[in-house]
Structures are given as C-alpha cells and as structure tokens.
Structure 1
Amino acid sequence: MVSVSCMCLKAKPLPRRCSNKEWSCRQQCGKLLPCRQHMCTKPCHKECSPCPKVSAQPCVCGREKTERPCASPQWNCQQLCGAILSCGNHTCEVKCHSGVCPPCPRSVSRCCPCGKTKSSLPCTEEVQLCGDTCDRRLSCGKHTCSMRCHRGSCETCRQEVEKECRCGKYRKLMPCHKEYLCDSKCPKTRSCGRHQCRRKCCPGNCPPCDQSCGRTLGCRNHKCPSVCHQGSCYPCPEMVDVRCPCGSAVLAVPCGRERNTKPPRCKEPCRTPPSCHHPTREPHRCHPGPCAPCRQPCLLTLPGCSHTCPNPCHDLVLVKSQQVQLAGPWEQPSEPAFVKKALPCPPCQVPIPTACFGEHEVSPVPCHRQGQFSCKRPCGRPLTCSNHSCSKECHLISDGNKKCEVCEKACSKPRPPGCPHPCSRRCHPGDCQPCGQMIRQRCHCKISMVYVECMKLTSADKETKVMLTSCNNQCPKELTCGHRCKQMCHPGVCEEKCQQKVKLRCPCKRIKKEFSCSLSSQCDVQCDDICRDQQRKVSQLKEAEQRAAQEEEQKKLQEELEAFEKRQQRGGRRNKKRGRREEVEDEQARAGRWWRWCAALVLVPLGGAVLSAAAFYLVTKT
C-alpha cells in the first residue's frame, strides 16, 4: 500500500494498492489548457485533452480572422503576401506565411528561356535572348524545338512520323502531335461476358457494358434492373411482409427472404390450448410452430406412498421408436423416428434417513428402497491379529453366519535399523523374532564376498562393522607413488605415506643410497670428490681422442694439396704412354687415400671407445 494523491493533485493522499495507484476525486480539473484562454472543465483525470471550444483565430500573416477550434490556432489564408522585397522593386508572391519574406527570385543568376546562357543582371532588367536554337523537348517527348531562343511555350510538333494506331493493326505517316485511330471494330467480349465491345480502334481496355442485365433474380419473381454486369446479380430490391402466427406483428424483408426469415417476435400471449392433464399452459408469448413441452410439475399421487410426483409433466414426451429388424443386407436402415408418448411416473425419490449395516453413517435413502443398506465403505472392525481392520465392504454380522475376514497379510511391523529382510511370519501380535538370514556383500577392497549374520551386522557398533565386512587380506590398491598399500582390507582412502624402500643414485650413478618412498622426493644424493676425478679423467681422454682425429685429418689434407701442386708444376705435352701411367698412379693414390680415410673413420671411434672403457675400469678399481 502507498499513499497517493488523485490525478489532478487536489485531494489529500489516500492509501492505495501499488497495482491501482491512479484514482479520481471527481472534482473539476480547472487546469489551463494549451490554448492559454480556457480552463479544463472535465472531472479529475490524468492528461487534459485539446481545448474543445471555438474562438476567433488570426491567420499566420494576421490579415484575416475566422472562428476555429482553440486546439489548432495555426492556419494560412489564401492571400498573397504583397510585401516589398529586399530589392525594393518587387513584391512577395508567396501566400500567407510567417517570418521574413524570401529574397527576390530575380536577383540571383538567371538563364535565358532556353537555359543555355546565364547572366547576372539587376532584378529590374529582363534576360536577353541568346539567339541560339531552343532545343527544348516538345510535348510529344521525341523531338526538340527548332526555333531560336524564345519566350513562352514551344509550338506543337509538326514533323511527320510513321504512327501505329491504338489497336496496333495499321501504320500511317502523319503529324507527330496527332493521334492515329483506325476504323476497325473490337470483336472482344466486354467485362459482362455476354456482349461484344464493337468500339473503333480499341487498345484492349474495353469499357464496361452499358446494356440492361434483365436476368431473373434469386427471388424468382423479378428481373435485374441494373446495367449488364459479370457474376451474380444483387438481391431483389422489392420488400415483402412477414407476419407472426397470430398476425399482430409484421416485418418487412427483401423479396425472396420471406422463406428463410423467422416471423417477428410478438408480445401477445400464446392462445394454444394445453395437451396434458394440466388445466392451463405456462404463460408464454406468441411463437411460430408447436408449443414447447409442458414444464409444470406433474403433482400426481405416486403409488405405494402419499408423496406426489415432482418431475416435469411427462404426458407427451418424444421417445425414440424401436427400429424394425432388417430382413437382409440389401435393405437400407431407416432414420430413427420419434413418437410422443405418455410415460408413467418414476419411483418415489423422497429421502428417508436410514443407518447402514455397520452403522458408519446415516444417509437419506429413496422412499421406494426403504431398509438398511451398505455404505460401500470398509467394515473397519479389528481382526484377530490386532494390527489390521476388516477391509470387506460394509456388511451385516448380526445373523451369526457372516463374519469378518481372516488376516492373510504379511507382517508389516518395522524392522531393526539396517535390516533389509522382511519378517517371515504372517501378520501376528507381539514383537518379531530376531533376523537369522545371512547378508552377502563385497569387502572394503571390492575383491572378495563376505557373509555376515544380519542380526550381528545391524546390532554391531562402527568398529565391529568394519571388522565384519573386511576380508583380512592386504589392500590391493596402488598409491600415487605406484607401490601397493601395506594395510589390510580397510574402508576409505589409503594412507599416502608409503614406507617402501627405494634406491637413489648420484648424477654419475656411482653412489647408491636407500630411503623411504614418502621421503624420496625430499632427499638428494650428490657426487663426491672421487666422482668428480673420474669425470675429469674421462673428459681428458675424450679431448685427446678429438685432437688425434683432427691431426690425422690435417695430415691427409696436406698430402692431397702437395699431390695437386705437383700435377700443376709438370704441365706441357705428354706422350700417350706417360699420360696413361700417370693416370693409373693417380687412381691408385686416390684408392689408397680412400681406404685410409675409411679406416680412420672406423678405427678412431673404436679406439676411443676402448680407451674410455679402460679408463672407466681403472677408475672403478681405484
């Protein structure tokens, strides 16, 4: 709830619901309207509407005044302004306007009539003709004016062109500004679909038919008076009277509608005599057709009691007649027929208070069915098990023959906490016996199956339950370090402190120590002085091998260079035999060098490996 004032803000704030805050105090608004002349006379509201009154409003230029709505004060008269422009020679030719007049249109740069020459002249002087050809487009839209630059509109086009008639059948030479129409008549059917067009030189858009229609209207009494048209005719314009059964009410309807029009409602009472045992009908107005069935209470005395029939009158009731059995499939079944018959009064339905067999309730029973009854509820009497009640339908047991049922249900008493087995006995009084079944379940490590007595498991404490459900084998789970858990089968997560012994070595792999797995990540084995001496000796041997290989390579390169210089110093012409001998010697020398190079590539690394092994052996011995 919030405190809100009315929409016109005159009344005091009242508590209102948030969803319905706006309310009206019904006082006159009294606000000044946008016209600034009148006050709002409507009752309290949200926003004022435009002023509905009329007043004398001047036009924009202020020359005329007229009666206009206050809501639209701005209007323009049709008089020319006539004020002297800034040039001082001409007057303003704009109609009623506000503000300053526009500049003189003749004071700006102007063109000659044909638009080819521009000139800046005083507004009092006329623009001279340029003397060139006009060349403006004529009214035909195809040719241009061949006259010299002139004032006023150009003359009509006089050139002869070949023109096509309006219907497109013929062509002819004639002046451009004239239209060519041939004498052929249009053979097309007009929009009515019944008559031909017959218009001369028709371009295809035939005019609507102007003959009379004359077709018989839907009323089958008159003909259509309209112009010939397409489609169905309008309904008949004549009027016919339709009367009520008593003739008091009259209704005029279009001709042809009287067969489908209901008679008018009549306010006079219906005078049809009753057709039942009642002396008069229910009062109702005059209506067409037979009267409705009588709805008055029957009130005839019922047989067997002193009550009267309260049902509506059933002297004449529409009853579906029984269909005659068909002789064969060749006969068609007839539609069901309804016949008016007088039906007997129904049994008495006056309620008489009566108790049921089990005395669960006292209910009203129809007069024609007096006596005890079954209430359809469960009997509810306690059974011999003292846990359940009789579920049979309400029945009588006073005669000594009919008794309540025997309880055949299973025991439904609550079991001890944790026991999933139901009681094996039938429904019984007193407490249930202890559970003697075995529970089969997985151990903590999920490998073996353990069998435990249900009674021991449900009555044991937490530690005993852990012992009963354990297989007493070593836990098969792996720790994060990769070793197997050392504990016996246990619940939950394994301890992360692994006590398995692991070996750690120094970087050169000579020193070896043992630590617990959980402490191995925190320990580090460093090399000692002996390790460093061995590493230094190995590096010296490698450097000696590299220097020997480099010296051998330099020696080979020097030999090849000397052989090349000797060949260059010989020069001159050689005989063929000498040349062949030298070539053979060169080939032998190259082959020897190649074999030496292969031996060096194989033997040098092999020798280095042998030396390294010998050095490592000597170091480990010391």
Structure 2
Amino acid sequence: MITADRSLLLASSNTPPDLIENDSSSNYSSGDEASDEQLAETIINEIKDGLYQCLVCTSEIDSSSKIMELPSLSWRCPWCNGAHYSLKFPYTCWCKKKINPEQNELNPFSCGQTCSHDLKSCVHGCSLTCHPGPHISKCLALGPKLTCHCSKETRQLPCVLTPYQTGFSCGAKCDDLMPCGVHKHQAPCHEGVCGECREMVDAQCYCGKHRKNIKCSDQVPKKSTDWVGMFACDDPCDVLLDCGIHKHEASCHPITPTSHVCPKSPAVVKTCPCGKKQLGESRSTCLDPIPSCDETCDKLLPCGDRCPWKCHDGPCSPCYRVKEASCVCKKQSFSVPCKFLTDGNVPKCKRKCESLMSCRRHICERICCPDYQEAFKRDRERKKAMRKGVLVARNEEMYIEPSHVCIRPCDRLLSCGKHRCPQVDHPGNCPPCLESSSDDLVCECGKTVIPAPVRCGTKVNCTYQCYRPKECGHEPEPHTCHDPEIKCPRCTTLLKKPCRCERKIEVNVLCSQPQVSCGRPCQKLLNCKRHYCDDICPSTKICSGNLSKCKKLVKVSCPCNRIVKHFECCNVAEDQKLECDETCEKILRNKKLFEAFQVSPTVGDLDQVIPYSRYVMNTALKQSNWVNSVVRLFDNLIQSSKKTHHFNPMSTSQRQFIHELAESYNYSSYTLDHEPYRSVVIEIKEGSKLPHLSIAESIKIFKAKKERDSLASRQEQDSPVPETNSSEFFNAIAIQKVFFGATLDEITITVQELYSPVFPEGLVKCINDSTFYFLPSQPINSSQDIELKLIELLDPFTQILSKKSLAFECKLIKVDDNCHLIATAPQEYLSSSTEKESETEPVEREEGKESTEKQPEIGLQDEVENSCLEVKDVSHEIVSPMKTQEEPGQAMEGSTIS
C-alpha cells in the first residue's frame, strides 16, 4: 500500500520543477510541443517500469500501485516547500472525469476518454486522450463557419487560423446602396457601415447663377420657383425688392414669391417697433419712418433679460445689467456686464495655478487655469490615500487633466552618462539607454569580450590579472584588469633610497614613495651665530650654512621682564630691550606698597593679599566663564541705580559661591524659597565697594601659590626631580609607536598648532622609524617651568596623534644636548606634578566652557609681583569666608544667571 497524492504523480525525480503540472486543471505548457510530449511520455514510461518515485513517501510507483488519500490536515510540498491545507486528495484519473479509474496497463491512471480541458486560445478543449503533463498549446480542431463582412462568402478554417475577433473580407465589391439612395458603394467587402457618399455630381446653387461639381453627401436640396438648388454660392443676392427702392442684402438663397418682399413695406409693418401699438394709415411707402410709442421695448434679449429702453426702431442695444460670474478656475467671483457674458467671455483672476504637472517636477504656471479645481481635488485625494496607506501604483498620466500633462522634454542624463532621455518629462527614473554599439566590447587585456550588440553604458568586468608592466620593473600587485584611465596600485616593494639632503643617508622606503627623508634637521650654524638651521630633510629649504637672514623668533623684553615680544632674529640686535610702560611703573609702585605695609608676596603671605576665599578662587579656576558672568553682575550692581539683584534658582554649591563672593564686596546675601527653587538675593549696603584686586588678578597670585606649594611638596617627597640642578628637569616629549609610513612633516604639522603658542622655537626630531622627539628649543633648555608646560602638552599630543593614526603613545623624557635619552618620567611623577589642591568639595567644570585665558610667559616670582595691582583701599578689612549652613554642592553644571 503506497500513500501518495495524484498531483504528485506528475513530478518525476529527474524532472525540473518549472515543467511539473501540480493540478490537471491548470495548463503548464513549456511552449515547446516536443518538450511537452516528451515530458508526458517520460512520466508514463517511468510508471510502467516502476521507476516513478512518490515525493511524499519516496516509494516507487508502477501501474498496479494503489493510490490512497493523505489523512493529514496539512503537508508541505518537497519540491516548492509550500504548505497545503486540503483535507482530502481524491484519487482520480488525469483529467479528473473518473474517480478510482480501472487499471490500465497501456496508459496508467488514464480513463481513456478525451481530455477536453479548456484552452485559453479557443473555444475547444484539449484533444489528447486523458494524459499527464501539459495540455496541447495549439488547437487542432476546425473552427466554426464564418461569413465575410458582406455575407457573400462562407469559410471554415482551422481553429488556430480562424479570425474570431476581426472576421474576414471576401474581396468582392460591396455594392450596397449609399445613404443618398442613388449610388452604390464601390469599395471591396468591408466591416461596418459604408459611410457618406463621395460620388461627384453636377449641382446648381440656390439662386440659380452658378453650377459646379460637389460631393453627393454635401448636397442640401432647397426648392426655388423653377429649380431645386443644392448649395449656396458666394455671391450676394443684390436683387431689387418689390418696392423697387431697396436691394436684397442676403446671401445666395432660394427664390420664392415672398423672398423679395420689402421688410419695411406698409403692408408688412403694421405696428410700432415694440409691437404694442397699431400704426393704421400713418405710412404710405417703405421710406416713411416707423413711429414709436411711449411704451418700454421689452423685447427678449439673447441673455434672457428684456430691453429696458423705450420703443425704438432697429436692433436693441446690448444688455448692461451687472451679474455675478465665477472666473475660469472657479476661485473668485466678479461683477461683469451681461453683454460681456453673452459675447462668450469669462472673467479671469490673477491667481497662478501652481498645480503639479504629470511629471511631478514642474508646476502649472497658467493664470486662472480652467483645470485648477480638478487638479486640487486630485492632489487632495492622493494625499488622503497616502495618509491611509492605500495608494496603489498607477500611471497618473491616464487620470490627469489635459492641461496638466507636461510636454517638456525630460532631457536628463541617462545612466550611461552619454545620452539624454528623449521622452516627455515624466515622474520616476528614466528608462535605460536604448542606444547600442555594433562593435564587441573588449576589456583592456583582451581576455573578456561582450559580443555585439552592446547596450550603451555597459561596462566590462574582467576578473583576470592586470597585464600592464610597471615603470619600475617590479612585479605588479595582485589586481584585476581595469580601464586605462585608472592607475595601477602603487608599487609596495621596499628599497633603500638616499635622502634628499646632502648627507644622502639611505632609508628603507616603498618603491613608489617619491620623497625620501632621513628625518634629521640641518643643524648648521646660521649667520646670526645664535641659532642652528632646523629645516628637516626633505625640505626644499635645507640651508647651506650661509643664510643671510635668520627667520627664527627670539624673545625681547623690557628691563623688568613684564613686556615680552617675539621678533625675527635678523631684525633684533643682541642686547636690544623694550621700553617699560605705565603698567610696569604701576607694578613697581605696588611692590613698594607691599614693602611699606610689610606684606611680602611670598607663599605664606598670599592669603593676606587675595581678597577672596579659597572656595571662590578654586571655583574661578574651574568655571572661569560662569564666574566672570557673576562677577560682571556684582561690578555693575554697585554702579547702577538698582540696589538688589535676584539670581535664578541654582545648586547649593553655586549659592555658596554667591554668598562668599558677596562677603568680598561687602554685600548682603540671603536665600529664598525651598529646593529645587531655592535662589540667592544680593543687596548693596553701607560700606559696599569693589575689592582692591579683581578675580583675574587674584587668580594669577593664587596660581603662583599653588605652583610653589607643588614644588615644595615634590622636594619634600624626595621627587626624582633634583632640588638644585635645573638640568635634571624633564625637557622633552617622546612620540612613540609611530604608525608605519608616517613622515616627520606629517607629525610636525599635526602638533605644531599645539606647541607653537607655548614653545615658538620648538621642533620635532626623528630618532628612528617608530620614535620621534619633541624638543622645546635647540639647543635644549631645562627648567621647572619648561617641564610643567611639557606636562600640559602631553595629553593633547597623544589625543591628536592617535586621532589621525600617526602615533599612539607620548612620554615625558629627559635628553642631553645630543638627544640621547637619559630618563623617562614614571606615571607616579606625572600624577604628583598635576595634583590639584582644594580644601572644599570639588566643583565640576561647566560642560563645553573651558577657560581660554592665556598667561604671559614670565617667571613665577614675576607673576606674583605683576599681579598685585594698585590697592584701592589700604584700610580695607579682610573678611573671612561666610559660614553657610547649606551643604556644599557637587556640580555647577548648566547654571544660568538672570
């Protein structure tokens, strides 16, 4: 007992899926009759030989197998992997006419009757005996008997040749009577009516003056007195009327007894012009005027109104009533004379249509467009459908208004890049270029060929190795064949090449690298006898040792070393000095004031000089922008007419800053409301005044104290930095883990913007392929100030070099005059050097608001002395920081000042 489905018998184990008929009710013809017959024969032969395999149970099927129904509710087809949910599969013959057919050895599972399956091309069915596989593609039966168009001949043709839709013509003369009732149709047998008669006939005009040949269908017979006219000639009548005075001014017309009666004859005109009053015997000839009455004319005008004038002779004047009429686009209404409308005119507004054309690229620029309303409705429906998600793709040109069909040429460049779109402007993408070439398309190496015709824009994709040799003679890198305008990859063979400088040092570089550099500076003494040439190989400026002008920048200061400027070495004498200004004199005067009040600007006395608390100074160092905005409000308040200022709600740490800063100004301060709306109010009181030192001046002194404290701490902790010998300070930065191929010029340009403001004479030297040194000057200087500035540059160097993938590590080092490494700073040393002192909780720096203040390059002692400006009030009492009851905050981020 084999379980299988009848439809699965159509599929052979060696038959492709696209030739399988899964249901005998469908026609899956391959289009090739020989292939279809071979498929059916193969299925029958495999069943006869017991080689056909069931696709469900994979058992062989022969002509004696019992086919049973599948009991499962659903099953998955092994060929298409599609799910089927039919509950039962009844076992029928191939054509489904007989259930449980008898065993047939010659044609297994066939009922032996004609298939008769409906074909799409004709009215007959499949003429084959009940069979598997596709049905016949061409009907072999005779079609019905058809008569020709004129019903004179009858024919019967094979079904595939029978013209069911168009019928046929026998070719004989039609000979049907034409609509004129005189002539017969001379054309051959045709479909439809014969149409108008085109026979030429001799005809006379209505007035009888002319005769000519015209088409029979153009005749319009009208009876005159003695003849029947068939057309109107171009001559006017011009015949005297019965009055003998007037002439008939009408065009050619039939001649009748009443056609030439004078219209103004007394016998014709019996009433006044309006017809309301009888004339009687007042007129004797046609020349007498027609008297009018005093009544209103009241004749019906073409517009539907009545004439408002008094009774009058001749035609009525146009109607001048005002009516409301819509413009062409139906957007506005206008009051226009009735005569304007009766003449066929329509008012127009000045509104531009601006509806999208069919191309959906251009807009309609017509003024008062007649299709505006339709376009507006169409666009509104389209947007509504898009919002609902039910818009279906369709050709909108079939539904668009005639005036909104875009007729501009598209003229967009096609994908081939050579030709332009010849179609009328259209929405969506342009069709592919239909131009083609009759030449074969051959790749550069000639191994890949696309035979003609070749569509325009086709590109050949050759997968063979490029054959072109390199100019250097080395083996080319593996890459596929390409167009000649595309360059081959650069040669990556490593060679030893001499550098460009006069030392000619050989360096391992890529063969394709044009410039070779040893990475070393020139180091020849310039004519100034103070500097050495630091141009790096392969710079084109490598000096020959006899430069006439030294362009290096040197510092020139005033005698007190406060004013420092940089000049080119060639423009400065060796002992040149700058002149002191008023600020220098003020600093000298302040210094004398310190001595007079016995206040020495030493580390221990700095707290006596600064009029602000430690908390205020630490906050000013970390949040300079916010602190400066608050200080400006404090300074402006004492000079304005206002006595109070109410700040916006802020954090606890910010309110603590406001309270302690108010102590320095001798302001009153208090808080309002509860968290999170707690705010601070400051108020001027008697004795309020500006501190004798500003925040900026105090920061300089405060920084000096911190630097001296840090120096003392390092000396006490037995720091690696020697206490007395300044040459033991770290004096360079090592740039290590340099990326392969990175040049000295690339690294110098990358870090130059960082070190040039701090070390104008700094330079980068190449030690080897993976290590470079940054030196603050040449010859190398060493001091504590230089070391601190190098520590500040350490992290920026690492970040910018890593970001540009040039180097990945920077370290603080100590080198001798010959750039030999002496020592490398440990991480603990860097941590102790950069540790910040703060007695209160740290206040986070405002996001995105880093201090941009640049301190002048002067010594520590000079910085303290120069920062002490003139004391405004020597009797000012130093006030200790206010003891607030609020807990210090953790951040001042995002605060605002009203």
**Shorter-chain TM-score tier:** under 0.3
Give the TM-score of the pair, scaled to structure 1. 0.26
Structure of greater Rg: 1
